[in-house]
Chains A and B, each alone.
Chain A
Amino acid sequence: MTLRARSSARLALLLILVSATAAQEFMFYPYYGKNKVIYETFRWKSYPTEHFRIYFYTEEPRTLKNVAEVAESAYQKLSEALKHQLADPVPLIFYTTYTDFELSNVFDISEGVLGVSEPLLHRIGIHGDMPLDELQRLVEHELAHVFEFDILWGSQSAALYALNIPPLWLFEGLSEYATQDWSAWSTMIVRDAVLNDRIPEMTESGDLTTRFPMPRDPSYDFGHAIYDFIEARYGKNAVKDLWQSIKGSPLIRRITPVKKAFNIKPHDFNHEFQKYLREKNRKFLLRENPADYSIALGPKFPLNPYYFTFSHAVSPSGDLVAALTYNVTDFDVDLVLVSTEDGSIIKNITPGFTTEYEYIVYEYDPSLGSDIAWSPDGDTIAFIARDGRKYSLYLIDPVRGGIVGKYKIGHDRPSAPRFFPDGRAVMFTAFTQGTHDIFELDLQSGEIVNLTRDDYFEKAPAISPDGLSVVYSIRLDNTDKLFLSPLADLSQKTQLTFGPGNTTCPSFSTDSRRVYYVGDVREAFNIYSVELASGEIKRYTDVWTGNFFPSAHPSDPGTLFFSSFNKGSYQVFTARLEGTVEDRVTFAGLGSAQPPRRFRPALTLDIEDKKIEPYPGINKLYVARRPPIDVVVSSDGSLYGGAALAFGDLLGDHNFLVMIYQARGLRSYYLSYLNQKRRLQFMPTVFEFTMFYYPPYAYIDPLLYDRLTYQDAIAYRKITSANIEAYYPLNRYYRLEGNLGFYRYEENFFDPYSLNQQSSRPAGYNYFWNGNVLSFSLAFVGETTHFSPYYGPRAGHTFRFSLAQAFPVAQGFFSNTTVRADLRKYLYLGGDALVALRLEGWASRGRDPYVSYYGGNNQVRSAYFYNIVCTEGWFANAELRLPLINVASTIIGTIGPIRAVLFFDITRAKFNGYPGKFYLSPEPLRPPVVLDAIGSYGWGVQLFLLGLPIHIEWVKKLGWPDISDPFSLQTYGQFETKFWIGLDF
C-alpha cells in the first residue's frame, strides 16, 4: 500500500498541519501537552500612579498602597541612577500570591520565578509572597529591565522591530547593579567562585561563560560584578558608555560591547576583572575553606548525579542524612539518603517520576529553613510539594520510598516542615493573605491552625526536643533576628539576637538548652550558638562563604552537621567544633524597649479610591509578539510563504490570531479567538485552507503501482470552516476537548488531463471530498509524560481518545463516525535511556468516511512519508532510545547530544469496501507481493543540528503475508537509508 512520494508531500503536510484544528483527525504536533489549569478567575482592577498603571485584584487597600509605594520608590531610585525617564506608564501586574502568579496568561511562570518583565509592552509581573523589602528589591530589578528596554529599543512596542539582542549579562547585570544591593546569596556565589578560581569569562562574542557548575546563570551575579568593576575602573559614566555602545552595535561583525565601549579586548578585560575581584575578596582568603571541616558528605557532583543540597535533615539515629538535591541525570529534584560515615549515597527515595505531586518544594534561600524534616521515630520524612491549586505535605517512608501520608495545605508557599517531638503534628510556615505565619498541621485530623496570626514575617521554626519552646526568625526592617516562644503560645516573643546582620536557621541542642544558628555579621554566614540560660553567644566557624542549617548529632552533641556553600553548591559537612565566646546578651520581649523596626518604601503615597477602575478586558488589544514571516522553497521549486499576527489584551485573557499563508498559487487564511480567562477555555475559528497533495489511486489499482509519479497526481483540497473548540482541564494531566464545526470540502486535480483520466475510470473509490461536514467531536486527553530538554519524552504516558460524528443534516452533507485512539508509554531505564511504545488506531465509517494519511518518519519507517492511505488502520511502534554522546568537543566544535535508536513497527490499513492489503514490489517489473501487514525494523542515530532533531536511519522492510500467523513475517530488500527531521513521539 505504498505510493512513491517525494518532497512535495512534505509541503502538503505543512499545510495539513496548520489545518489541524479543522480536520480533527490530523495530529499536528507529536505531544498533546499538559494543562495550565485556571483554578480561579480574578476581578482585575487598575490604579494609576505617576509612572505606573497597577493591575491588581486584591481587596486589601494596604496591599495596593504598599505596591504603589514600592513601585514609585523604585522608579525614583532607578531614574536617578540611570538618568533616564520612561515616556509611558509601566503596566505593573500584581498577583497577590505565587500560586495566583502561576495562573498568569501573560507570563510563563515556573517554580522559582519571582518576577518577570517583558520588552514589548514593558509589562512587569510580580507576586506578593515575600517581605516588603524583598518586594522593593524585586520591583527595582524588574523595573531596571524596563529602563533597559527603553534605553535600548525606545518606547513600548519598539522591541517588535529589534534585531539586536545583547548578551544576557548586560541586562541582568545592570538590573542587579541598579538595585545598589548585593544580596547574601549573590555575594556568596561570587566570593566562592573567586576564591576557588572559577570566575566566569567573557568570550570574544561578549557572552559570559563558565566551565564550572553554578547555581544560577552567571549573568546575574557576575554581570552585577562587571558593572561594579566598570564603575570602579572607568567611572560611573562608563555604564552609560557601555549601553551606548550596545545601541549602535551592528548585526553583522558584532564587536563585543567592552571592546567597543572601552577599547579593551575580552581577554584583557577578563584579566583586569579577575584581578579586581581577587583584590576585593582578598580579606576572605585566609578564612576557613569548607573542605577543612570534613569530607563533603553531601552529594558530590559529578562523582554522582546529585548536584546541590537545598536542605538536609539528620536521622534520629544520626547515621543518615536525608538531602533534598537536584538529580542532574533526571532533571528532577530528589530526596536521597546519605551515610554520615563516608558520604556515600545509600538510596534515592524518590527515583524516577511520579504524578502524585508536581514537584517537591525547595528553596535556595536558607533563611526560610530546611525544606525537609525527619520524624522523631525515624519512620517518615516530611516534605512539601506542589499539588493542584496549592500544596500538600507528604510523608514518605525512607526505607521503602512510598508515600504514606498526604495533607492538603491551602496556604501559599509553605516551607520548613518540623515534626512536634511527639510526632502528632507538623509545624510549617506559609503565607496567608500576604503575611507569613507559623502553622500547625494535626496529622490525625489534617486540621491546620495558624499559631502566630500577626503581621510579622516569621520563618525557619525549630521545636525544642523537650517540646516546650520554639525558636524562629522574624524579618525586622530588612534583617532576620531570632525569637523564642513557648510552644503553647507563640504570641509571647523573646528576642534572642540583636545588632547588625542576619541571624537565622536556628536549631536546638539535644538538651534544649542551647540554640544553634547562623549569622552574617562577619559578611559570611557562620555558625553561632546562644545559651538560653545565660545569653552567652559563641561563634564556631569563620568560613569564607557560608554555613547553614546547623544541627547537633543526636547521640554525639559535640558534633554538628551543617551545609556549606562550596564550589558552586551546597554540600553537607560535619565537624566537632569548639566555639569561642563572642558576646553575652540580655534577652528582651519583642518591642519591649522600642517598637520593632519595619521596612517602609522611600516614598509614601495616598491611594485615591475614585481612581480605581475595573479592568476593561477586551477593550484594547496589543500585538503579542513579533509577526513571523516565513518563506520556504521546496525541492520541486514551489514557494511557500506567509505571516501571522497575534494580538491580545493586556492580561492575555483574550487572544486573536490572524494567519495568511500561500503555497504556489493557493492561499490559506485563518482567524481565531482564544478565550483563556476561565478554566473552560474556548476558541472560535474561521479559516479557509487550500493545500495540495497527491491522491492515492495507485492504492486501489495495483497495476498502476510504481508507474506514476507524484507530479502526475497532484491535487488540491480546499477546506472552509467555522468551528468552535472548547477545552476543560480536569487537572494538570488530563482534559476534555470538544469541537463543533462546519467544514466545506472542495477537492480536485490541478491537471485537466489527470481530471479526465480520473473521470473516465470506472467505479473507482471516490477519494475526493466535495461537500459539507457538520461535525461534533469529543476527546479525552492525558499526558503525564516527563520530558528532557533535548531528548523529548522520558517517562510517563500519553493518550488521546476521540469520537467524531459528522451529521448529514441536509443534502450535500457528509455522514460518518470516526474513532481514534493514540496510546503511548515511556519506560525510563535511567540516564536518558528508555523504551518508547506507541499504538495508534482509527476507524472512520459511514457513508463518507474520512481518509487518513500516514507512514514514513517514525510512524512506519519502511513506507514513504504519508503514503499509506486508508479509512481504517492502526500502527504500533517500539523503540529503544539510547543516548550515545551528550556533549562532545570535536575539531568542528561542540556537538551533541547524539542518540541511537533501535526500532520496530507494524501497521495494517484498509479502505472501506476494499481488502486491507499492501502491495509490495520486491523487484522491478514483477507483480507485487500481497501482504496483510507491513512494518520495519532497524537502527539509527539522532542528532541536533541548529536545534533541529535530525534522524538518519537504516531501515529494513518487513511484511506479513498472513497476519493471523505473526511468525510468517519476511524481510524484503536491503537496508535502506532514511533521513527525516522531526520530534520523536
Chain B
Amino acid sequence: MRKNSPILLCLLVLLAACRGGDTYRKIRVELPAYSTLHPEQFEQAIFSGFLVAKEPDGLDLNKEIAEYFGPDFEKKLHFRVTVQRVALESEELFRKPDFWRSLAPGPSRVLYVTGKAELTREMRKSILGKAKSDADDPLAQQRGGVAERTLFSLSLHLYLIRGDSGEVVLDRDFKETKAYTNPKQRADFAFYDLAQRVRTKLFRPILSEERMQERYLLLK
C-alpha cells in the first residue's frame, strides 16, 4: 500500500484535473404534461358530431370517432358519455359560444366533443430500392422495383367546448398517415390504427401524464 500510494495520488490528481468545469448535467426525469383542460370540472362528454370533409365509402367517420374515443372519455376521464349529433354547417360554429351554450342541458357540467375530420385513402407507388430477398423463398431471385401501398390519412381538428360558457377549452389539430402493404386494407381498421396515435397525443396532456424527458441540471 505504501509503495503504491504516490501512484494512486498522481492518478487521483490527474483524474481531478481531467474532471473539467462542466456547469450542467444532463438528466432524465419524468415530467407531467401541462393541461389546459380540468377534467374535474365536467361530468358529461357529448359527442356532438364532426364536420366530415371526406370519408371512404361505407365508413361513418362520426360513428367511428364516437365509438373509439367515447370509452376513453368514460374510462380515463370518468365522464358520462353520450352521442348527440348537432347539425354543423361550418367551422365557424366552433367559435360561437352562444351556439354551444344554447345546446347545454341545464346546469349539467357538459363538455362537447366536436371538430372537423377527414379520412382519405389513396394508392401510391413505392420505390423499393434494393429489394430484400423473399424470406420465405431464399432461392428466389432478388427483384427490385415498385410496389403498391395503400395510404390512409386521418385529419382531425378537435374542439373540446364547455357547455356552460361555450368556450373552447382545447383546440388541437392532428394529422396521421399510415401506409399498408395490403391493397385491400379496410378503412375502419386503418382508422383504428390512426386514431390510436391521436389518442396517445390527445390524452397525455389532458391527463397530465408523466413522460420521460431530458433536462439540463445547472450546477452553478
Q: Which residues of A contact B (CB under 8 A)?
A: 79, 83-85, 87, 121, 155-158, 160, 233-238, 240-241, 244, 263, 620-623, 645, 647
Contacts and interface: CB of A to CB of B under 8 A. Distances in A.
Nearest to B74: A235
B209 A155 contact: no
Contact of B210 (A79, A84, A156, A263): A263
Contacts of B192: 83, 240
Contacts of A87: 181-182
Interface in B174-189: 181-182, 184-186, 188-189
A236 B71 contact: yes
Given A85-B182, A85-B186, A241 B196 contact: yes
A155 B193 CA distance: 17
Contact of A157 (B68, B76, B136, B139): B136
29 contacts: A79-B189, A83-B188, A83-B189, A83-B193, A84-B189, A85-B182, A85-B184, A85-B186, A85-B189, A155-B181, A157-B135, A234-B75, A235-B71, A235-B72, A235-B74, A235-B76, A236-B71, A237-B68, A237-B71, A237-B72, A238-B75, A240-B192, A241-B196, A241-B200, A263-B210, A621-B139, A622-B136, A623-B135, A645-B138
Q: Among the interface residues A237, A240, A244, which one has the most CB atoms of the partner chain B within 10 A?
A: A237
B122 interface: no
Given A155-B181, A233-B75, A236-B71, 16 more contacts: A83-B188, A83-B189, A85-B182, A85-B184, A87-B181, A158-B135, A160-B135, A234-B75, A235-B71, A235-B74, A237-B68, A237-B196, A238-B75, A621-B138, A623-B136, A623-B138
Interface in B2-58: none
B189 A121 contact: no
A245 to B, nearest CB: 10
A54 B151 CA distance: 31
Contacts of B186: 85
Interface string B120-156: 0000000000000001111100000000000000000
Contacts of A645: 138
Nearest to B135: A157
A160 B137 CA distance: 13
A790 B203 CA distance: 50
B215 interface: no
Nearest to A244: B196
A84 B189 CA distance: 6
A733 B184 CA distance: 52
Contacts, number: 54
Contacts of B74: 235
8 closest A-B pairs by CB: A157-B135, A83-B192, A235-B71, A235-B75, A87-B182, A83-B189, A157-B136, A622-B136
Contacts of A238: 75
Contacts of B76: 234-235
A624 to B, nearest CB: 11
B138 A647 contact: yes
B160 to A, nearest CB: 18
A872 B188 CA distance: 75
Contacts of A85: 182, 184-186, 189
Contacts of A156: 135-136
B134 to A, nearest CB: 8
B59 to A, nearest CB: 13
Contact of A620 (B137, B181, B210): B137
A157 B185 CA distance: 20
B206 to A, nearest CB: 14
Nearest to B196: A240
Interface in B74-120: 74-76
Nearest to B193: A83
A126 B125 CA distance: 39
B199 interface: yes
A620 B137 CA distance: 7
A893 B116 CA distance: 58
A155 B135 CA distance: 10
Given A84-B189, A87-B181, A121 B136 contact: yes
A569 B31 CA distance: 48
Contacts of B138: 621, 623, 645, 647
A655 to B, nearest CB: 14
Contacts of B199: 237
B31 to A, nearest CB: 13
Nearest to B210: A263
A620 B140 CA distance: 10
Contact of B209 (A158, A236, A263, A622): A263
Interface centre among A83, A157, A621 (most CB of B within 10 A): A83
A55 to B, nearest CB: 16
